[in-house]
Structure 1
Amino acid sequence: MTDQTNLPPHNIELEQALLGAVLTNNDAFWRVSDFLDPGHFFEPIHGQIFEIMASLIRVGKSATPATLKTFLPEKLTPDMGMSHYLALLAREAVSVINAIDFGGHIRVLAVRRRLCDVAALTQDLARNASSDQTASMLIETVEKELFALAERNGGAGGVQPFSVALLKAVDMAGKAYQRDGHLSGTATGLRDLDKVMGGLQRSDLIILAGRPAMGKTSLATNIAYKIADAFSAQLTADGKEETINGGRVLFFSLEMSGEQLATRILSEQAEVASSDIRRGAIHENQFQRIVDVSQRLNRLPLYIDDTGGMNIAQLCARARRQKRQTGIDLIVVDYLQLLSGSGGKAREGRVQELTEITTSLKALAKELDVPVVALSQLSRQVESRDDKRPQLADLRESGSIEQDADVVLFVYREEYYLRAREPKEGTAQHIDWASQMEQARGRADVIIGKQRHGPTGAVTLAFDAWLTRFSDLSNPVSEEPIS
């Protein structure tokens, strides 16, 4: 066993008492299984014993000294056999009632040990940082470690058995089966898109790209609103709030102000054109609708950060902070090309800088276990082609974007390009044009150019230009401002 001198916070007796409680009464395991993991134990052999007990009990088998010893080394120390040690644990057992308190103390000690590790890392960084590491980079490194600790609350992290990952996959499938629409991810509120994508998947980096005026910001705003509006949660056994529908959204608006973003959502929900809201060209009934809708929107778990000139390190730090404070289920970044790198990469050129940005966003999605939707511009080469439908090669500085993204979506509106090519009235070409225009009016294609865990293709949505609103095709589209 481990040498007990000069060691971080721990309590071997507590660990032995809890393990003994489970050995003598397996019901004690279920009292601590929601919050205690093998990695919380200071003594490695105790963590191993707890893990084996958990695997036996979860499949309905008994965990006793007799059943455990076949899975453990024959000797604990040269002077003590494993069978004898397990018998001693059972003899020193606490009651089932005390198991929760003992398990809680063991977990707190694990958190304290991890804090010692973070403190040592902080001191090492402060003393031995290289010349190319900026202050913000050092702070981000420490903040990232603290966030990981806060999220795990002392969990093991690191390497995990395949069985653990498998349990998570089965749990995800079960939740998808029980959820409305049978989606494995967070529903966008757009039925046809959700059918193809299964919703927005946790830890995915989703690139939403398009040329100007295609409506990519509108689509992102629509999705953010629908997810925030559908939010509901429940308390888990350990007192944490678990999202069961919709989600809390953090929207980084690097181009538009928070007021402009709010106006878009208000316009869509009150069914009053945003241009009329800005000009004050509304009548009393419309104003009353705006007031009523604003009171409902005021309760949305939608958080906006409209800080301009942000770099990727600052964005990641703010996202971690928001996750700790309120919880987050979706991050939206509008848009990639307005972000800057964190110092060194910016000096190496824009391609390297964007590589850092997309790699960091993918890492952030995985770290926070949320989907990250990042908007991106397309290169002008789209405009030089007869076929304006975007492709992966049209992504600006596309190498890193395409490589790091789990999903790439393109927004394309044929109506926009047809309107600019109207032939002279009265000609045969104008008749053909009018027919094409009729088919394209009020429609937008969301082209799935890449999807790691699903098919590619196109989904056609309705687009209401007056309200900058995307919806399913079955929903009506207005051609005039709604009064």
Structure 2
Amino acid sequence: MNDAARKLAPLAKDQAEQHYREAPNNLEAEQALLGAILVNNDAYYRVSDFLKPVHLYEPLHRRIFEIAGEIIRMGKTANPVTVKTFLKADDKVGDLTVAQYLARLAAEAVSIINAEDYGRAIYDLALRRSLITIGEDMVNIAYDAPLDMPPQNQIEDAERRLFELAETGRYDGGFQSFNDAVALAIDMAGQAFERDGHLSGISTGIHSLDSKMGGLQRSDLIILAGRPGMGKTSLATNIAYNIAASYDPEVQPDGSFKAKNGGVVGFYSLEMSSEQLATRIISEQTEVSSSKIRRGEISEADFEKLVACSQMMQKVPLYIDQTGGISIAQLAARARRLKRQRGLDVLVVDYIQLMTGSKKSGENRVQEITEITTGLKALGKELNVPIIALSQLSRAVESREDKRPQLSDLRESGSIEQDADVVLFVFREEYYVKNVEPRDEFDPKYDEWKMQMEKVKGTADVIIAKQRHGPTGTVKLAFQSEFTRFSDLADPSFTQYEH
């Protein structure tokens, strides 16, 4: 062998070893766990809540774990004799038949006490294998990137896959058994019974609205629409602050936090800056007019109120993103990041028409809005949080005698109406009555106008035009325009009626 060949030989050996690196696994832990389950079926219940067949590395072990699980859930005993009938008799494990292998697993079983430790080790190795797959895909796509996939899209895709892995431990969808779905429904009912106000969803802080909707339901897309000046942003900020201010975290067995009441809120303010939004919230909480705050026309007592309020608000888990013209992909990536880092229970988007789609060539605005609403609905399901998305209404409302909004008034309405689980319209008759005030107070119509104005002054209607899980109808609220605050009416007999 010449010198060059001698130098290359160890390098070739190193490359070969690197090339054939085996994926992380621990077959001994898998054997020990399966043996414990076959000897004592209680071991299965110690790991079944987090360990699934797909997490085991050896295909035969996956099959044994899956069959044993099915037998145990049916209330029967899983042991080498009952499991072997569901496996191919002629399969071999080295020199052993499947039946002999099962008997060997049971014979060499360790204590059931260790079952959970083995399960955790297997699960962690499965996560590492998933991380390797995601990492390899990232490298391969970055090396050989398709023309229509800019780097930003790849980052967002990688973030999505990593988020799903962090949340669920796996990133394939698949079917869920009806038993699991029923258990989730019963859990939800139990949580509603324990929660303040006995709501199945998250309370908006406005009782008359909660009683009609049962709170904000997880994974729902709630469209909140209205013409300019109706107060849709005010209602959204009121609800967002109410939820964040009543946040009561509960520690879970795994050390994470879950909201017992209220929740962590993410607010995408595409129209207003975070300071403008904060000014609105401070105004509504302190009852100091926001226009006075902006102009500095406040007394010392008012200023003390503002300072006290701001100190209290610093502890509130309300996070504001003021990026204008954000795309649905960017919004989703940031929401996943917020959920991972701080937690997330409710998402607010103000408003849909200021978002951008992927801008595919030749795509019109209606298709772009369709992409945005479909993306928001999918994001709500993925993060398991309600999303309140604000929307504009078309000018058709202004040209009608009856100014009350209808579903057909939603701008680019087809997809918004279709994807939404709940559609709410904010309508303030006071706004329209105020605009037709007779110029001359001695005009015979002036008294009639004054009576009409007194009737509608300080009130607002929230029209529930669509609701998948409940009735439609109208909820009457009090509205204080100088503080941009919605609240329940003092006289509950006027609060709501059904269509």
Q: What is the TM-score when the length of structure 1 is the normalising length?
A: 0.90
Q: Contact conserved, 1:69 with 1:82, CA < 8 A, in 2?
A: no
Which residue pairs with 1:299 in the alignment?
315
Cα distance in structure 1, aligned partners of 2:466 and 2:391: 14
In structure 2, the CA distance between the partners of 1:98 and 1:281, relative to structure 1 (3 Å rule), is same
- Is residue 39–residue 156 contact of structure 1 (8 Å, CA) maintained in 2? no
Q: By how many angstroms is 1:162 displaced?
A: 2.5
Map 1:356-367 → 2, pairs under 5 A: 356-367=371-382
**Hey, what's the Cα distance between the residues in 2 that align with 1:54 and 1:69?**
10
1:425 alignment partner, one of 421, 438, 441: 441
The residue correspondences of 1:457-468 to structure 2 (distance < 5 A) are 457-468=473-484
| Counterpart for residue 281 of structure 1 | 297
Residue identity in the other structure for 2:373? T
Q: Does 1:69 find its partner at 2:83?
A: yes
Give the aligned partner of residue 192 of structure 1. 208
| 1:38–1:156 CA contact under 8 A, matched in 2 | no
Alignment of 1:283-432 (within 5 A): 283-344=299-360, 347-423=362-438, 424-432=440-448
CA distance in 2, matches of 1:452, 1:246: 23
8 Å contact kept, 1:414–1:444: yes
Deviations 1:173-210 (A, max 9, x none): 22122222221111111111111111111111111110
1:142 and 2:143 equivalent?
no
Aligned to 2:12: none
Contact kept? 2:272, 2:322, Cα under 8 Å: yes
**Aligned mates of 2:134, 2:386 — CA distance in 1:** 27
Moved more, 467-476 or 394-403: 467-476
Contact 2:266 2:319 in 1 (8 A): yes
User: What amino acid does structure 1 have at the position aligned with 2:86?
Assistant: P
Instruction: Judge conservation of contact 1:230–1:245 (CA < 8 Å) in 2.
Output: yes
Query: Does 1:257 find its partner at 2:268?
Result: no
Give the partner amino acid of 1:32.
V
SS in 1 for 2:483: coil
Partners of 1:467 and 1:411 in 2: how far apart?
17
Distance 1:381 1:114 in 2: 52
**Partner residue, 2:121:** 105
The amino acid that maps onto 1:64 is A
Give the distance between the partners of 1:469 and 1:48, measured in 2 at CA: 59
- Report what 1:480 is aligned to: none
Please provide the CA RMSD for this pair.
Answer: 2.5
Distance verdict in 2 for CA 1:233–1:81, change over 3 Å: farther
Other-structure match for 2:490:
474
Q: Taking structure 1 as reference, are residues 200 and 31 closer, same or farther at Cα in structure 2, changes over 3 Å only?
A: same
The superposition leaves residues 200-238 of structure 1 with CA deviations (integer Å, 9 ceiling, x where unpaired) of: 111111111100010000000001001101112222222
**Contact 1:52 1:68 survives alignment (8 Å):** no
Q: Is the 8 A contact 1:34 1:237 kept in 2?
A: no
Distance 1:192 1:125, change over 3 A: same
Partner of 2:91: 78
Distance in 1, Cα, partners of 2:450 & 2:82: 78
* Alignment pair present for 1:241 and 2:257: yes
1:248–1:410 Cα change, 3 Å? same
Displacement of 1:28 after TM fit? 3.4
Alpha carbons of 1:64 and 1:307: their partners in 2 closer, same or farther (altered >3 Å)? same
Residue correspondence of structure 1 range 13-92 to structure 2 within 5 A: 13-44=28-59, 46-47=61-62, 49-50=64-65, 61=75, 63-65=77-79, 69=83, 73-75=86-88, 77-79=90-92, 85-92=101-108
Q: Is the 8 A contact 2:430 2:459 kept in 1?
A: yes
380-389 or 24-33, which moves further after superposition? 24-33
Residue 35 of structure 1 deviates from its aligned partner by 3.1
Distance verdict in 2 for CA 1:68–1:299, change over 3 Å: farther
Question: What amino acid maps onto 2:297 in structure 1?
Answer: A
- What amino acid does structure 2 have at the position aligned with 1:352? Q
* Mapped partners of 1:224, 1:67: distance in 2: 58
**What is the DSSP-based 3-state SS (H/G/I as helix, E as strand, rest coil) of the residue aligned with 2:319?**
strand
Aligned length: 469
- Residue number among 218, 237, 243 corresponding to 1:202 in the alignment: 218
Q: Which has the larger radius of gyration?
A: 2
Q: Give the CA deviation at 1:86.
A: 4.3
Unaligned runs of 5+ in 2: 1-19, 493-499
More deviation, 101-110/73-82: 73-82
* Structure 1 contact 37–155 (Cα < 8 Å) conserved: no
Identical counterparts, % of pairs = 58
> What's the CA shift for 1:113?
1.6
SS, match of residue 209 in structure 1: strand
